[in-house]
Amino acid sequence: MICAENINEYKYYKMFKRKILIAIDEPRWAYKLTQTLCDFIDRENSEIVFLNVLETTIAEEEYFYNYPEKFIKIEARKANFAYVENLLEKNKFKYEFIFKEGNAAENIINAAKELDIDMVVVGSHNKKNIEKLLLGSVAQKVAKLCKSAVMVISNKYQAQKSGKPNYNILFAVDHSKPSFYAAENLDKLIDIKKANITILNATVPPQNVIPPDAYIYVDLENIILEAKLVSEELLNNIAGIVQERKPYSIKQVSLIGDPGSLILDYAQENFIDLIVMGSHGKKDLPALVLGSVSIKILEKAEFPLLLIKEK
């Protein structure tokens, strides 16, 4: 392993096409993130950077000042990443560790920019009470503000055995430009040749958009039919783009209902390993632009979520 003391040293050491930054804290969680990621990426064409940040914001300092035994316990766990290193060396990954101090989300976002990272991987701990208040918002901040693609892995996700031949992707799309951008760049982030891809478009029911008073003026059945045809055309267009990347298999699904709920339900019922969505990559936009659907998936999904952003 080549060890870099800081980000500037690392900037001159680039050999692989995909540069992946994994934000880690304690070793067991780092191992889970790494094990999950190993199933999705091209191992021969990926370089991994681990970023471990010691939180030193005012809130964390006050928290650990009042509970020093927690600080000691957490730091002791961070000291040994041997399991992670063994996993990476077994799978012949090129990797690097970087250690920083300060605000976790800010350090992750800055490192991704400075290192020209293609994808950031961050865990969502779903912590409660005081720990959620202090530490639990890192994943949301990174997903919103980072300009690189972001993969969020829930601590509820049970990683399958590493090295399985294929995995299942649910690619949720709409008519927005980020969906088409995601289709064009999916193979740059994951090993698409191992992927069974289901492309899903969920259409909001016209009844939820058209006021009841207007029903007498419109042909609701015809509107529903037209919406279905538009959805099928979208799926065909996206599938054509993805097919050029030569995935293992492609399936198309068109549904009508609440998009967030339909995506979560479909993932749960069909043994999905990874949910993929296109997302805006502009940090100056309000949180809502991340998308109410993206936010719902981010908060509730027990599956890894990959947000692909336009650069």
pLDDT confidence tier of residue 14, bands split at 50, 70 and 90: very low
- Contacts of the segment 230-236: beta carbons below 8 A, 24+ positions apart: 230/175, 230/203, 231/201, 231/203, 234/173, 234/174, 234/175, 234/201, 235/173, 235/199, 235/201
Angle at the Cα of 186 from the Cα atoms of 185 and 189, rounded to 5 degrees: 95
Residue range 193-215: mean pLDDT, rounded: 80
| Least confident stretch, 25-34, 100-109, 141-150, 197-206 | 25-34
Q: Which residues on adjacent β-strands are paired with residue 24?
A: 52
Residue percentage of the chain with pLDDT more than 90: 39
Residue range 95-115: mean pLDDT, rounded: 90
Q: Homologous superfamily of 167-300 in CATH?
A: HUPs (3.40.50.620)
| Least confident stretch, 70-84, 88-102, 244-258, 270-284 | 70-84
Q: Is the pLDDT of residue 60 over 70?
A: no
CB 57 within 8 A of CB 103: yes
Q: Report the C-alpha gap between 304 and 274 in whole angstroms.
A: 5
pLDDT tens for 140-198 read: 889 889 999 999 998 877 765 555 688 999 999 999 999 999 999 999 999 999 999 99
Q: Report the C-alpha gap between 152 and 2 in whole angstroms.
A: 27
| Least confident stretch, 123-127, 262-266, 269-273 | 123-127
pLDDT of residue 302: 84
pLDDT confidence tier of residue 290, bands split at 50, 70 and 90: very low
Q: Which two tokens stand for residue 6?
A: 């800081």
Which of 301, 32, 273, 42 shows the shortest CA–CA distance to 167? 273
- pTM, to two decimals: 0.80
Q: Which residues contact 33 (CB under 8 A, 6 or more apart)?
A: 22, 24, 121, 123, 153
Residue range 246-275: mean pLDDT, rounded: 93
| Least confident stretch, 23-37, 73-87, 98-112 | 73-87
Pairing of strands 149-154, 305-309: antiparallel
Q: Would you list the domain boundaries of the chain?
A: 7-154, 167-300
Q: Which CATH class is domain 7-154?
A: alpha beta
Q: Is the pLDDT of residue 304 over 90?
A: yes
Q: Report the C-alpha gap between 118 and 22 in whole angstroms.
A: 11
- The mean pLDDT value of the chain amounts to 79
